[in-house]
Amino acid sequence: MKVLIVGGGGREHALLWALHRDNPEATFFCLPGNAGTAKLATNIPGSATDVEAVTASAKERSVDLVVVGPEAPLAGGLADRLQKAGIPVFGPTAAAARIEASKRFAKDLMAKAGIPTAVTRTFTDLQKALTYIAGHAEPLVVKASGLAAGKGAVVCQNRADAKATATAMMGGSLGAAGSEILVEEFLTGEELSVLVITDGEHYAVLPPAQDHKRIGEGDAGPNTGGMGAYCPVSIATPTLLRSIAAEVIRPTIRAMADLGAPYRGTLYVGLMLRENGSFSVIEYNCRFGDPEAQAILAAAPPGLLPVLRMIAEGGWMPEGLRLGQTRHAAVTTVLAADGYPDAPRTGAEIRIPRGLEQATDVMVFHAGTRLDDEGRLRVSGGRVFGVTATGPDIASAAARSRDASAAIEFEGKQYRRDIGWREIRRLGG
């Protein structure tokens, strides 16, 4: 069996690790991959968003399955092109990927399907947006409607900040992603990431996770693409997950089918849990979360590869399929480059202690790494590693992840030492 994983971040390294665990005899490719994926797969140079080149690479190597990691290639129609070429692909079509590519589309979908979410207004005219903001309660949230690499949602403590954020987004600070913005009420509570694998009708829920988006400990500072995650989450009780399935997951899948864009792939639902037991959808993503995937895949038992292949080949998931169990707890700590998230500095040499990457309870998932001409490992992106550790509980997994993160060295390294703090406090750890 030949498998091509599209993407080059920590999520893709984690997917490669999990699928290789399921079938170590398979041949794996990554496009473009990173220094970590090169240990388990053949990296193919190129851009994940070059739809024609990715398709040509898959055809040339006669791959049996393509798994698409990032959202941009999906929004750009990669799954459609691969399907047209007769290549099985796990990931939604461009029409279905609008659920992430356009926040306006997602909000309209929620409204039509009766899915709980924050009160929102959408704008393409800056002056109208500023007028609306002037009368909005504080704090409030300003979001770019398009894809912004996880950095398109800004919590603004006051209207002045919201006006400045809206002006910057619509002025091009996020490129085309900010040409349309959403102004949204601020929701209080605790976030939860629920990912499901679906064939467009049936679905299976993966173990829920919680990520840490802020750069600083105690959830301080600006938002990032994610500074860490843990799995499982004790507040995600079976009762709560049944409610989320009934009020969010099933209506979403049904609404997409009704629109003529059946959703086949990973559906990520970001939720805000309220103190009164209610919940609201913050966002949808059309792929595995990053860094949630690293923690979820490390915590969950093997068996993902045959399910992904079945869906990619147009099959239906078997009744009663369960993917939500965990074998142990997992915590992922993201190591970021100096200057991240605003202006990450690349090129620093990386030193990983001998034996760390061979540990059975620690997985060093590479993200922004490369090998230079002399074979030295260097920083090549904003998020450099997702250091994932497992243990019998979140507190022990977090301690192992922290220790491993401290042992990896590169100039300007940034990381949080409190990943999983809510769960540890909740469970008295």
Report the number of distinct structural domains present in the chain. Answer: 4
Which CATH number does the domain housing residue 68 bear?
3.40.50.20
Residues 173, 205 share a domain = no
Closest CA to 405 of 413, 109, 114, 89: 413
3-state secondary structure at position 275 = coil
Q: Is residue 100 part of a domain?
A: no
Domain residues for the domain of 149 are: 125-179
Residues 347, 401 share a domain = yes
Residues 306, 195 share a domain = yes
Check if the beta carbon of residue 265 is closer than 8 Å to that of residue 273.
no
In angstroms and rounded to an integer, the radius of gyration of the C-alpha atoms of the chain is 21
Task: Report the alpha-carbon distance of residue 366 to residue 348 in Å, rounded.
Answer: 15
- The percent of residues in the chain predicted with pLDDT above 90, rounded, is 92
Check if the beta carbon of residue 273 is closer than 8 Å to that of residue 235.
yes
DSSP secondary structure of 194-238: EEEEESSS-EEEPPPBEE--EEETTTEEEE-S-SEEEE--TTS-H
Checking if the pLDDT of 131 tops 70, the result is: yes
Q: Is residue 321 part of a domain?
A: no
Q: Is residue 250 part of a domain?
A: yes
Q: What local confidence, expressed as pLDDT, does residue 275 receive? A: 84
Residues 48, 67 share a domain = yes
Which CATH number does the domain housing residue 167 bear?
3.30.1490
Residues 195, 308 share a domain = yes
CA dihedral 88, 48, 222, 394 (to 10 degrees): 40
Task: Report the alpha-carbon distance of residue 389 to residue 366 in Å, rounded.
Answer: 14
Peptide bond just before 139 cis, omega within 30 deg: yes
Which CATH number does the domain housing residue 219 bear?
3.30.470.20
Whole-model pTM: value is 0.95
Q: Is residue 61 part of a domain?
A: yes
Residues 351, 412 share a domain = yes
Q: What local confidence, expressed as pLDDT, does residue 151 receive? A: 77
Q: Which of 117, 150, 179 is a domain's end point?
A: 179
Residues 296, 196 share a domain = yes
Digit-coded pLDDT (tens) for 281-339: 999 999 999 999 999 999 999 999 999 999 999 999 887 788 889 999 999 999 999 99
Residues 308, 353 share a domain = no
Task: Report the alpha-carbon distance of residue 6 to residue 22 in Å, rounded.
Answer: 18
Peptide bond just before 24 cis, omega within 30 deg: no
Q: Is residue 278 part of a domain?
A: yes
Digit-coded pLDDT (tens) for 71-84: 999 999 999 999 99
- The percent of residues in the chain predicted with pLDDT above 70, rounded, is 100
Residues 32, 73 share a domain = yes
Check if the beta carbon of residue 244 is closer than 8 Å to that of residue 269.
yes
Q: Is residue 163 part of a domain?
A: yes
Residue 429: C-alpha distances to residues 231, 395, 396, 398, 423 (Å): 15, 6, 9, 11, 8
Q: Is residue 112 part of a domain?
A: no
Which CATH number does the domain housing residue 408 bear?
3.90.600.10
Checking if the pLDDT of 429 tops 70, the result is: no
Task: Report the alpha-carbon distance of residue 75 to residue 60 in Å, rounded.
Answer: 23
What mean pLDDT is predicted for residues 43-68? Answer: 98
Q: Which of 156, 179, 202 is a domain's end point?
A: 179
Closest CA to 173 of 114, 228, 126: 126
Q: Which of 93, 117, 143 is a domain's end point?
A: 93
Residues 294, 206 share a domain = yes
Task: Report the alpha-carbon distance of residue 40 to residue 29 in Å, rounded.
Answer: 9
Digit-coded pLDDT (tens) for 372-387: 999 999 999 999 999 9
Q: Is residue 116 part of a domain?
A: no
What mean pLDDT is predicted for residues 215-230? Answer: 93
Digit-coded pLDDT (tens) for 20-29: 999 999 999 9
Q: What local confidence, expressed as pLDDT, does residue 358 receive? A: 82
What mean pLDDT is predicted for residues 146-151? Answer: 84
Residues 261, 212 share a domain = yes
Residues 290, 209 share a domain = yes
